[in-house]
Amino acid sequence: MNKELQAIARETLKGGLSKCTEAQQYLFKRMYSHEDLNKSINDVVDDMEADRLDWAMTQVQRTLDKA
């Protein structure tokens, strides 16, 4: 994934996660930053590996669709 697509994916994730509850954000942190749960949700997204962005976006969208 090129840098521009990564940036779009990260911004999309941040936007979606901002609509999630604290509990949902904490679960996201446990999945994607289990070694440092004190990071902000935006820092977790910024530090994610590029190959995990697509699946994370799918997970966040499904979470929002359930609400």
User: 1: pLDDT confidence band, cut at 50, 70 and 90?
Assistant: confident
User: 52: pLDDT confidence band, cut at 50, 70 and 90?
Assistant: very high
Query: 41, 55, 39, 43: which is closest to 1 by C-alpha?
Result: 55
Q: Using CA atoms, how far apart are residues 34 and 67, in angstroms rounded to an integer?
A: 25
| Confidence (pLDDT) at 67 | 82
Q: Could you tell me if 17 and 28 are in contact, meaning their C-beta atoms sit under 8 angstroms apart?
A: yes
Q: Using CA atoms, how far apart are residues 8 and 26, in angstroms rounded to an integer?
A: 22
pTM, full prediction: 0.90
Residue 19: how many other CB atoms lie within 10 Å:
12
